[in-house]
Structure 1
Amino acid sequence: MAHTVGFLYPGYSAEDDYPRLERILRGAGADVRLPLVHTDIGVDAHRVDALLEMGSAVRLAAGVGELLERGADAVLWACTSASFVFGWEGAQEQVRELSAAAGLPASSTSFAFVHAAKALGVERVAIAATYPEDVAEHFAAFLKAAGIEVVAARGSGIITAAEVGTWGKEEVLTLAGAGDHRDAQAVLLPDTALHSAAHLVDLELALGKPVLTANQVTAWEGLRLIDHPVVCPALGALFGDG
């Protein structure tokens, strides 16, 4: 029986990263399924008030039933900004409520970044965000609450996920390079609206260090929750053999 991780994904932008991730993982020999259900985002805006509403318990719970029907063994809120804006404690409560609604282990992309960095032994990071600067700073504060040092945080001022979803490889590589810092052990790209699954090896070759992207770490976190690690170098250092 396939190992199944279900994802609640806000709106429509880079959701096609998930079937791509599934194909890459299955190509590496993993018997996994990554079904995805879209949630109602309300207003598409990287703005704190809109993000708090986007990540509300009611909006997330609405998609849980479909993921259960599709055999999910764990549920992930595949969104970074509409989890870290709640703060460390608030994001934990969000995940607890999601887990209770599903009756399954649950997590979010924000916590996925924390767990992924710690799995790699990374203590100092740089943030290369698509978001406006103030939203990027909320992510930096979240990481600091987890004991991770943020040596640089760069925002790009993009308001909508729809715009981020149009970015291709060159824009992603430029974003990562601009956000890198010589003291950072890894660079974090925290937007699940950003296509990244096809670019992970190129990103790490360009920067010479691990690069953690939102959809990548979310998939990894789901596999961690169901205790099904997968070695898949095509998905970067995070999916290495240790």
Structure 2
Amino acid sequence: MTALGFLYPGHSAEDDYPRIEQLLGSDIRVDLVHTDVVEGAHRVDALQRSGAPERLAKGVEQLRLAGVEAVVWACTSGGFVQGWDGAQEQVRALAVAAGMPASSTSFAFVHAAREIGAARVAVAAAYPDDVAALFADFLRAGGLEVSGVRCAGVVTAAEAGCWGEAEVLALAQAADTPDAQAVLLPGTGLHTAAWLPALEKELGKPVLTANQVTVWEALRLTDRRVHAPGLGALFVREPIVQV
């Protein structure tokens, strides 16, 4: 049994995680701890506070007692708003506090895009424009080319959590560009786990979503590879060998 730990802010789309655990269909356990959210707004200052080291550290002990082998900060915007260097420091502090490998959803997107060989990506963000622009900057800092960004202007994660398949698909389609090798949907507040095959079928290319890449990143940290077609191309393709 491999136990994976996640620090998830508030309550929006956390039910994606037991769904993903079921779709993995193997000896994988997903443990989720909710972090405090003082303000759930997609606003830079609020997002920076959500990922403060002391806030993340509060949930670490519970995960450690659960016997997890890696921990991931399951909040895309709470990572990339720190900038590339700040997000790295955030993860380092989390690893020290947890005493185990750690990462965040922001880095998971970069690593997952590299895994499937997608050097050029389109971003379909529920965020306001200024927050989405910071995500695009983060991806570029990670060596990816961003072919376009489409924003929905959603103010809170709770609002994003109310979206259904039709809204998610419409945003992804609006963001896609002919030259994009994958479409990225940041925001762990969006439900996407149940719709990944349909999204990829409609777009005709890999789709990377926040909760999907977050779990994949935890598996990567524990050196586990799981074949799970229900979770999209990321979970069925052979890894790209980095030269």
Q: TM-score, normalised by structure 2?
A: 0.97
Q: How does 1:123-134 map to 2 (within 5 A)?
A: 123-134=119-130
Note the C-alpha offset of 1:154: 1.2
Q: Distance in 2 between matches of 1:37 and 1:80?
A: 16
State the partner residue of 1:74.
Answer: 70
Q: Distance in 2 between matches of 1:166 and 1:175?
A: 14
Q: How does 1:201-240 map to 2 (within 5 A)?
A: 201-240=197-236
Q: Does 1:20 align with 2:16?
A: no
Q: Distance in 2 between matches of 1:159 and 1:241?
A: 35
Q: Distance in 2 between matches of 1:194 and 1:124?
A: 23
- Cα-to-partner distance string for 1:41-100 (whole Å, 9 max, x where unaligned): 110100000000001001100000111111110000000001000000000000000000
Amino acid at match of 1:64: V
Q: Distance in 1 between matches of 2:167 and 2:211?
A: 17
Q: Which runs of 5+ in 1 are unaligned?
A: none
Q: Any runs of at least 4 consecutive aligned residues in structure 1 with deviations exceeding 2 A, and if so which?
A: none
Note the C-alpha offset of 1:175: 1.1
Q: TM-score, normalised by structure 1?
A: 0.97
- Cα-to-partner distance string for 1:208-230 (whole Å, 9 max, x where unaligned): 00000000000000000000110
State the partner residue of 1:179.
Answer: 175
Amino acid at match of 1:142: F
Q: Distance in 1 between matches of 2:111 and 2:142?
A: 9
Give the SS at the match of 2:184. strand
Q: Distance in 2 between matches of 1:61 and 1:15?
A: 19
How much is the aligned-residue C-alpha RMSD, in angstroms?
0.6
Q: Distance in 2 between matches of 1:214 and 1:7?
A: 13
Q: Does 1:64 align with 2:63?
A: no
Q: Does 1:53 align with 2:49?
A: yes
Q: How does 1:26-41 map to 2 (within 5 A)?
A: 26=25, 30-41=26-37
Give the SS at the match of 2:45. helix
CA contact (8 A) 2:5 2:32 kept: yes
State the partner residue of 2:190.
Answer: 194
State the partner residue of 2:241.
Answer: none
CA contact (8 A) 2:116 2:237 kept: no
Q: Name the count of aligned residue pairs.
A: 238
Q: Which moved more, 1:172-181 or 1:214-223?
A: 172-181
Note the C-alpha offset of 1:241: 4.0
Q: Which runs of 5+ in 2 are unaligned?
A: 239-243
Out of 30, 37, 44, the residue aligned to residue 40 of structure 2 is 44
Amino acid at match of 2:41: A
State the partner residue of 1:145.
Answer: 141
Give the SS at the match of 1:41. coil
The share of aligned pairs that are identical, in percent, is: 63
Q: Does 1:163 align with 2:155?
A: no
Q: Distance in 2 between matches of 1:133 and 1:38?
A: 27
